[in-house]
Amino acid sequence: MNSPKKDGDDDVPVKDPVKYGELVILGYNGSLPSGDRGRRKSRFALYRRAKANGVKPSAVHILNTPQDSKAVHSRGQHSISFTLSRNQTVVVEYCHDNNTDMFQIGRSTESPIDFVVTDTSGGGKEGEDPSIAPSTISRFACRVVCERNPPYTARIYAAGFDSSKNIFLGEKATKWKNPDGHMDGLTTNGVLVMHPEGFPEDPKQGLWREISVCGDVYALRETRSGPSRGKLAEGESSALRDGSLVDLCGATLLWRTGEGLMRAPTLRHLEALRQELNASRPQCPVGLSTLAFPSLPRSHSLEERQPWVYLACGHVHGRHDWGQRSEREEEPGESEGTATRRECPLCRSVGPYVPLWLGSEPAVYVDAGAPTHAFVPCGHVCSERTARYWAETPLPHGTHAFRPVCPFCSTALSSPGWTRLIFQGPID
């Protein structure tokens, strides 16, 4: 696990390309703002490794002196240390498991991490200076363990093994001994998971739960880093399903199974939908110019024929200066931190007026429907079912709040979080 890792090396086998699935960071619309590089990217494909690297619990040691601890750790085995007091530590040793592959996710760029994840800001842009807003994502946040044989079940566990092959839960960490005698615990900010039912055909949101270091499922703590664990969720599993969401307190990941990805739309399909929409020659009702969505993937630089929308009503226009409200007409606090409010020339509705961008991360789509709806207030465009699903899916926010966000840019959504787009066809 700790051999030097080259950037871009996902351990993709040559002759046996079994794909367990993909983890996609919500909010980046297909790639990181600075581009995907090596282990730092917006999505990570998990393939069956050429050689199994999974581990499973074996011996348990109760240590009373630092010398005992040093002796156990010097064996070079993976282990989890639970510090009960200054004088007592429980160390659970792990041995090699030929039947599983392990993948580790976290903020650290050290070699044990397979997928480097940093905080996602509300606008989908990486923080320019990490010292201004310290990351809340753990350096070794979680690990996904996949069975090497069908049905290739993937299970998630809180915390990852560091460069010394250890997971260390200190004296202040939330930990406990289960009735069957095995130790378990939670990480500082927790790893939260939501398993939807029926994703993507008829998706219904599940309950957000917390995953322990040993992979058990618990109700949420009172606050994100509270000292007391929630109640054990009897009968619930840490096995990921197609559409499962994993929140690392700073970034939310979407899990798509290999089978689910085969049924999902592709970037080529989204490009065909874009071309079909442009071929219908939508027009600006004011300037009578023909509108066109930029090609995928695209930058966030506005183009001359870019469609814009009045979010209050959904009427699509080109960019123009008609209908701007004067400052004295706006309500108190209205202009601060919000899009400029404009009056739609077709129906006189007043509201934000923003450019439209096609959502170009295929994994977040729940169907291959036409791009008919836009998220409010960001203006990302997708199918109706996709817009409705994400607008009704609250994601963790802060210490104990939840809110729906645009899956393409992570902007917090209004209520309702989408609008139906109304295009005007050519008049000739």
Q: By C-alpha distance, which of 386, 361, 403, 315 is closest to 122?
A: 403
Chain centroid to Cα 331, Å, comes to 36
pLDDT in tens, 118-155: 988 765 444 444 444 567 899 999 999 999 999 999 99
pLDDT in tens, 331-343: 443 433 345 788 9
More confident residue, 419 or 339: 419
| CB-based burial, 299-325: b 16+ in 10 Å, e otherwise | eeeeeebbbbbbbbbbbbbbbbeebee
Report the alpha-carbon distance of residue 193 to residue 217 in Å, rounded: 9
Mean pLDDT is lowest, of 166-170, 280-284, 398-402, for: 398-402
**pLDDT band at residue 70 under the 50/70/90 scheme:** low
Chain centroid to Cα 254, Å, comes to 5
400 contact partners, CB below 8 Å, separation of at least 6: 220, 222, 223, 224
**pLDDT band at residue 391 under the 50/70/90 scheme:** very high
Retrieve residue 271's tokens: 């490009």
**Average pLDDT, stretch 384-401?**
94
pLDDT at 2: 42
pLDDT at 427: 59
Q: By C-alpha distance, which of 184, 206, 193 is closest to 238?
A: 193
For residue 81, report the phi and psi dihedrals to the nearest 5 degrees: -105, 125
**Radius of gyration, alpha carbons of the chain:** 24
Most confident of 292-296, 318-322, 392-396: 392-396
In the chain, where are the structural domains located? 19-263, 267-328+336-420
**Average pLDDT, stretch 288-297?**
86
Report the alpha-carbon distance of residue 241 to residue 198 in Å, rounded: 10
**Average pLDDT, stretch 249-254?**
96
Place of tokens 């996949």: 146
Q: By C-alpha distance, which of 40, 121, 33 is closest to 300?
A: 33
Does residue 89 carry a pLDDT above 50?
yes
User: What rounded mean pLDDT belongs to the chain?
Assistant: 87
Residue 323, sorted as left (phi over 0), alpha (psi -120 to 50) or beta, turns out to be left
Q: By C-alpha distance, which of 189, 193, 183, 191 is closest to 227?
A: 189
pLDDT in tens, 296-330: 765 567 888 999 999 999 999 999 877 676 543 44
Most confident of 28-32, 166-170, 183-187: 183-187
pLDDT at 9: 47
Residues 37/75, Cβ–Cβ less than 8 Å: no
Residues 387/375, Cβ–Cβ less than 8 Å: yes
The H or E element that residue 310 is part of is strand 308-310
